[in-house]
Amino acid sequence: MQRVNSTILSITVTILIAACNNATENTAALKDTAGDKAAPAKKAYLSAPLVSAIYTADPSAHVFNGRIYVYPSHDTATGSPENDNGDHFNMMDYHVLSMDSVGAPVTDNGVALHIKDIPWAGRQLWAPDAAYANGTYYLYFPVKNKQDVFQIGVATSSKPEGPFVAEKEPIKGSYSIDPCVFKDDDGNYYMYFGGIWGGQLQRWNNNKYDSAAKLRQADELAILPRIAKLSKDMKHFEGDVKEVQILDKDGKPFKEGNNDKRFFEAAWMHKYKGTYYFSYSTGDTHNICYATGTSPNGPFTYQGVILSPVDGWTSHESIVEANGKWWLFYHDTQLSGKTHLRNVKVTELKYNDDGSIQAINPFK
């Protein structure tokens, strides 16, 4: 009997050890100390994480075939220390999320693209976006090349959730991070992109790379996001990459020191009642704000804040119409309390009669 008991004990211990080894990604992630901060005070969040089995961020949402598809970054635990270059955001793959409507069950469609299958990639798969054209789904992604310089790549699939097959080279002429691909009503597609600090946009002047280029001083003109028209095959830029002008209400460009309003990263474009809405993150002041214009190329006039700061350093939005309402997708760090382990969320976005967007507080 004693022998039977010790056998049972030994089996139980083995099962427990195996269970620990197979601990969920979340548990593993919670052991990571990069970006640790004091446990967040209990807050009433406006919305709940869309998924909790994996960490997700930078949600680019689209409606394809009547279903909502969300293309997020897939945050993972990393030993990299937190720094202004974003080394702690060391993502390895993408998972596409999908749902019939906001509030319906969310499907994690598994690995859509892994960094090992991108021939030119070095490290850090950051915020992606997707588009549909020519009977094909295109996934656009920023990743550092083997020289540690961010560029933007494209991968294709016959299904919105992938798996995607990456092109062998990055998009020629692309640089920096956070691609957003917008289809205008006339069928033309444009890519907006760029992000400063770790996103390296400050190193690109006149579309030329200078590894020694510094961030601008507070009294210098703010660094601007970029736009490029996409070719019909959706894999190339047609014409030059240009700067996107963002002006204040007096028609003046922002200075770097206007960092509660100037562009930092997370470009997104949507069109509402014929007006182009260019939204973005202000980075170190953590706002999501927007500017409007009458052409996809800009200029855009600053209008205000869409989303005030969330838990966590970064904030990255997308705006999409689904089921007759407009939605703001964003992320915070509710699940982990750590800067680099984020979770995507969604809340309704409302317009006033004059077309302005009602500001959203991410807490109740």
Query: In terms of residues, how long is the chain?
Result: 364
What is the total count of residues that contact ligand FUB (CB under 6 A)? 13
Among the residues of 22-89, which ranges form H helices? Answer: 25-31
* Active-site option among 265, 311, 317, 332: 265
Burial class (CB in 10 A: 0-12, 13-18, 19+), 65: exposed
- 3-state class (DSSP) for residue 23: coil
User: What minimum distance in Å lies between the beta carbon of 73 and ligand FUB?
Assistant: 4
In the region spanning residues 107 to 126, those forming contacts with ligand FUB, defined by CB under 6 A, are 126
The yes or no reply on residue 127 touching ligand FUB (CB under 6 A) is yes
**Residue 3-42 contact track with ligand FUB, rule CB under 6 A, x = bound:** ----------------------------------------
Give, as ranges, the residues between 161 and 200 that touch ligand FUB (CB under 6 A): 177-178, 195
Instruction: Based on the residue annotation, tell me whether 58 is a catalytic residue of this protein.
Output: yes
CA nearest neighbour of 330 among 45, 138, 108, 137: 45
- CA distance linking residue 223 with residue 275, whole number of Å: 24
Of 95, 203, 270, 316, which one interacts with ligand FUB (CB under 6 A)? 316
> Which DSSP string do the residues of 198-255 spell out, in sequence order?
GG-GGGEETTEE-TTPPPPPTTSBPP--EEEEEPTTSSSEEEEEEEPPEE-TTSPBPB
* Residue 61 makes contact with ligand FUB by CB under 6 A: no
- Rounded to whole angstroms, the Cα distance separating 15 from 26 reads 20
**339 is a contact residue toward ligand FUB (CB under 6 A):** no
Least distance to ligand FUB, CB of residue 33, Å: 19
| 265 counts as binding ligand FUB under rule CB under 6 A | yes
Q: Is 89 in the site for ligand FUB (CB under 6 A)?
A: yes
Write the secondary structure of 169-204 as one string of H (helix), E (strand) and C (coil). Answer: CCCCCCCCCCCEEEECCCCCEEEEECCCHHHCHHHE
Give catalytic status of residue 233 as yes or no: no
Q: Which of 29, 34, 50, 57 binds ligand FUB (CB under 6 A)?
A: 57
Report the SS3 class of residue 18: helix
Give 252's DSSP letter.
Answer: P
**In whole angstroms, how close is the CB of 264 to ligand FUB at the nearest point?**
9
How far is 46 from 127, CA to CA, in rounded Å? Answer: 23
Q: Minimum CB separation from ligand FUB for residue 356, in Å?
A: 24
The reply to whether 266 sits near ligand FUB by the rule CB under 6 A is yes
Site membership for ligand FUB, residue 152 (CB under 6 A):
no
Report the interface residues with ligand FUB, using CB under 6 A. 57-58, 73, 89, 126-127, 177-178, 195, 265-266, 314, 316
- Active-site amino acid positions: 58, 265
